[in-house]
Amino acid sequence: MRPRSLEELVGQTHLVGPGRILSNLVPGRAIPSLILWGPPGSGKTTLARLLGETLKADLTALSAVDAGVKDVREAVAKAAGRRDQFGARTLLFIDEIHRFSKTQQDALLPHVEAGTVTLIGATTENPSFGVVAALLSRCRVVRLEALADPELAQLASRAIEDRERGLGTLGVTLDEEVSAQLVAAAGGDARRLYTVLEVAADLARHAAGATDAATITADHVAEAAQGRNLLYDKAGDEHYGVVSVFIKSMRGSDPDAAVYWMTRMLEAGEDPRFVLRRMVIFASEDVGNADPQALVIAIAALQAFELVGLPEGVLPLTQAVTYLALAPKSNRALTTYAAARKLVLERGTLPVPARYRPGSTATDRAMGHGQSYRYPHDFEGNYVVEDYLPDALVGERIYEPGDSGFERELASRLAALAAKQRG
């Protein structure tokens, strides 16, 4: 069912639609080197092959999983020969290009730069992470999107009816409700759609017998799908995307979204300890003293998970993430440390005032260490006005409490202390 022309391609209209970067292709037209970035089953390999056929260019395909520098050099040498003898252009398609090492990518660089080959790289990962900067700067990155539900439904209908390349000879039918279930099982992946559809159609045909009409049912699709694979690479772009929106959901006080994204990670096989570590960081970075209990709860969830493990361990995670999402927010732990760090880096190692140094030895005391120090507990309210910063920084304000949650109380306390200092 792989499309035989760009007109047959379903989806990616932002690339091949009228006036787009890959529209109006004609034989002999030059295109820039491309990095096709998109999720599995979005049509990266198909699009590369269609570009070669449409442009009437030779297409040499390599897989970064099993190709080495030698394979790259051989492909480039053949491309140079075709160019010199026949004036032919070569598209060098490298699937999973992010798996190439820096050395392998560097071997491509001069040939892409010289125009010996037009590189078409395909990757499921963010190319900014997996493709070296020098090669990336010589390519146009184009993003392929997961196929939308109507597009997947169109592919399923086409496959059911096509007698030459599809399942038309099986004589199976598929109603709209079951088609929707099939599309949901595919999760935007055309390759998975066809795999599930083929198995479901075979189950329907066998259930109906050789002569009777066969209808694909919801049970056939469920049996063929055997659960849904969640797109989530623990070292890749989808990982960072889900983690990012998980944190942003908690920061945005949306417990529904926070629990959803947390569940996406856990059900895809993420280590719960990774999720818990992010929650502990969040409790200080985004809640802080607006609700000091948040850090206590995040750490308690971590300890509880270590005690009970899975599957019950998801319960303290859920309790903690909903609490964090609804807690009052403050990023003052982050900004306060940043302010202190700025002073440290700009002003260097300022001396500790002598009165705060320990006066443990006779030499210490002879140098004035510990003299004039006033012990707060000797004074009313266990407080005495002092400046504990280095002398050069007296008067600097580093911690500025916010006005959310418990930080309002801390701001009030700080204001009272400031009044005593002035008074």
Integer CA distances (angstroms), 367 to 74, 206, 363, in order = 77, 96, 6
> Over 70: is that where the pLDDT of 33 sits?
yes
Same domain, 210 and 312: no
Q: Are 136 and 34 in contact (CB under 8 A)?
A: no
Q: Are 246 and 282 in contact (CB under 8 A)?
A: no
Same domain, 124 and 168: no
Confidence of residue 67 (pLDDT cuts 50, 70, 90): confident
pLDDT more than 70, % of the chain:
96
Q: Which of 143, 158, 186 is the last residue of a domain?
A: 143
**CATH code assigned at 171:** 1.10.8.60
Residue 32: inside a domain = yes
- What does the pLDDT read at residue 114? 87
- Which has the higher per-residue pLDDT, 52 or 286? 286
Same domain, 172 and 294: no
Residue 231: inside a domain = no
Confidence of residue 86 (pLDDT cuts 50, 70, 90): confident
Mean pLDDT over residues 1-12, rounded?
Answer: 86
- Between helix 255-267 and helix 314-326 the angle, nearest 10°, is 150
Measured CA to CA, the distance from residue 10 to residue 314 in angstroms comes to 40
Confidence of residue 229 (pLDDT cuts 50, 70, 90): low
Residue 1: inside a domain = no
**CATH code assigned at 316:** 1.20.272.10
Q: Which of 225, 251, 268 is the last residue of a domain?
A: 225
Confidence of residue 413 (pLDDT cuts 50, 70, 90): very high
**CATH code assigned at 378:** 1.10.3710.10
Same domain, 173 and 292: no
Same domain, 67 and 88: yes
Q: Are 147 and 10 in contact (CB under 8 A)?
A: yes
Q: What is the pLDDT of residues 374-410, one digit of tens each?
A: 999 999 989 999 999 999 999 899 999 999 999 999 9
Q: How many CB atoms lie within 10 A of CB 421?
A: 9
Residue 269 Ramachandran class (φ > 0 left, ψ -120 to 50 alpha, else beta) = left
Measured CA to CA, the distance from residue 60 to residue 71 in angstroms comes to 11
Q: The domain containing residue 388 runs over which residues?
A: 332-422
Residue 391: inside a domain = yes
Q: b vs e for 205-243, b when ≥16 Cβ sit within 10 Å of the residue's Cβ? A: beeeeeeeebebbeebbeebbeeeebbbeeebbbbeebb
Same domain, 62 and 165: no
Same domain, 299 and 343: no
Q: How many domains does the chain have?
A: 4
Assign 3-class secondary structure to 386-407. CCCCCHHHCCCCCCCCCCCCCH
Residue 341: inside a domain = yes
Mean pLDDT over residues 111-129, rounded?
Answer: 88
**Highest mean predicted confidence (pLDDT) among 208-212, 236-240, 341-345:** 341-345
Q: Which of 326, 353, 372 is the last residue of a domain?
A: 326
Q: Are 262 and 317 in contact (CB under 8 A)?
A: yes
Same domain, 199 and 241: no
Confidence of residue 65 (pLDDT cuts 50, 70, 90): confident
> Over 60: is that where the pLDDT of 232 sits?
no
The token pair at 19 is 């006036």
**CATH code assigned at 21:** 3.40.50.300
- What does the pLDDT read at residue 7? 84
Integer CA distances (angstroms), 149 to 1, 121, 143, 145, 181, in order = 18, 26, 18, 12, 10
> Over 90: is that where the pLDDT of 31 sits?
no
